C-alpha cells in the first residue's frame, strides 16, 4: 500500500496523470528548454572562437606585417570565426579598389573604406545576435506559460474536488502538485535562458566594440598611407 502511494506521488506519475492541457504546456516548455541549451552551447563556442580569433589577428596585424601580405594571407586561408578579419578584408579591398581608380579624392577613398568596414561590422553583429531573440523570448515567456499550466491544473483539481464526497488534503494534493510542476519547468527553462542572454549580449557588445576600435585604428593607418602617397 505504501509503495502504491509513493508511485502515485512520484514525479513521472504526476506528469503522466496531468490533464492534456498541462501536459502540452510541459512538453512545450521542455522543447523550449532543450532548444535553448543547444543554442547556449553553440553561442558559447562561437563567442570563444571569435574572441580567440580576434586576439590572434590583432597580434598578426600589429606585428609589423605588410598590409598587402596580410590581406593575401587572409584571402587564401580565411577564418570563418574571425569577425575582425572580415572587417579588415572589407576595408582593405575597398581601399585597393578606390586607389586604382584615377583621380579619386583621398577623402572619398577613406569614406568608402569606412563605409565598407561599417557594413562588415553590421554583418558580424547580426551573426553574434542571431540566437539572442529566441533566448530572450524563452526567458520572458516561459514562467507565464508554466503559470498558465499551473492555473489550469488547479482549476481542474478544484472541479474534481467539488464532485468528491469528502474533501481531504490527500485528494487535493496530487492535482495541485502536478499543476505546480508546470511552473517549475517554466522556471527551469527561463532561468538559464535569461542568464545566457545577458551573458551573450555583454560578450557580443564587447566584441563589436573591439571591432569598431580596430576599424578606427585601421582607418587611421590607411588615412596616413593615402595622404602620404598623395604628397
Which of 76-85, 138-147, 148-157, 222-231 has the highest mean predicted lDDT (pLDDT)? 138-147
**CA-based R_g, the chain, Å:** 29
Which of 84-88, 147-151, 168-172 has the highest mean predicted lDDT (pLDDT)? 84-88
| 20-61 and 169-230 helices, crossing angle to 10° | 20
Report the number of distinct structural domains present in the chain.
1
For residue range 181-218, list pLDDT tens digits in order.
888 899 999 999 999 999 999 999 999 999 999 999 99
Flag whether the pTM goes above 0.95: no
The stretch 41-70 carries a mean pLDDT of 91
- 36-45, 114-123, 176-185, range with the lowest pLDDT: 176-185
Domain that holds residue 209: 2-230
Is residue 167 scored above 70 in pLDDT? no
Burial 36-68 (b: 16+ CB within 10 A, else e): beebbeebeebbeebbebbeebbeebeeeeebe
Amino acid at each position: 500500500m505504501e509503495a502504491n502511494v509513493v508511485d502515485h506521488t512520484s514525479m513521472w506519475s504526476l506528469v503522466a496523470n496531468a490533464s492534456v492541457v498541462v501536459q502540452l504546456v510541459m512538453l512545450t516548455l521542455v522543447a523550449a528548454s532543450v532548444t535553448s541549451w543547444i543554442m547556449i552551447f553553440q553561442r558559447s563556442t562561437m563567442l570563444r572562437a571569435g574572441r580567440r580569433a580576434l586576439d590572434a589577428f590583432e597580434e598578426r596585424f600589429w606585428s609589423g606585417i605588410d598590409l598587402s601580405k596580410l590581406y593575401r594571407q587572409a584571402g587564401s586561408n580565411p577564418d570563418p570565426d574571425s569577425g575582425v578579419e572580415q572587417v579588415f578584408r572589407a576595408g582593405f579591398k575597398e581601399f585597393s579598389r578606390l586607389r586604382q581608380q584615377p583621380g579619386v579624392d583621398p577623402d572619398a577613398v577613406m569614406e568608402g573604406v569606412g563605409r565598407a568596414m561599417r557594413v562588415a561590422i553590421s554583418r558580424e553583429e547580426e551573426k553574434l545576435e542571431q540566437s539572442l531573440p529566441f533566448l530572450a523570448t524563452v526567458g520572458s515567456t516561459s514562467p507565464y506559460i508554466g503559470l498558465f499550466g499551473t492555473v489550469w491544473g488547479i482549476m481542474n483539481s478544484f472541479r474534481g474536488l467539488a464532485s468528491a464526497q469528502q474533501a481531504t488534503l490527500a485528494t487535493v494534493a496530487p492535482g495541485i502538485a502536478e499543476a505546480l510542476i508546470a511552473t517549475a519547468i517554466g522556471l527551469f527553462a527561463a532561468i538559464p535562458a535569461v542568464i545566457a542572454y545577458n551573458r551573450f549580449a555583454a560578450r557580443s557588445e564587447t566584441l563589436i566594440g573591439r571591432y569598431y576600435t580596430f576599424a578606427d585604428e585601421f582607418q587611421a593607418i590607411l588615412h596616413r598611407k593615402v595622404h602620404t602617397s598623395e604628397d
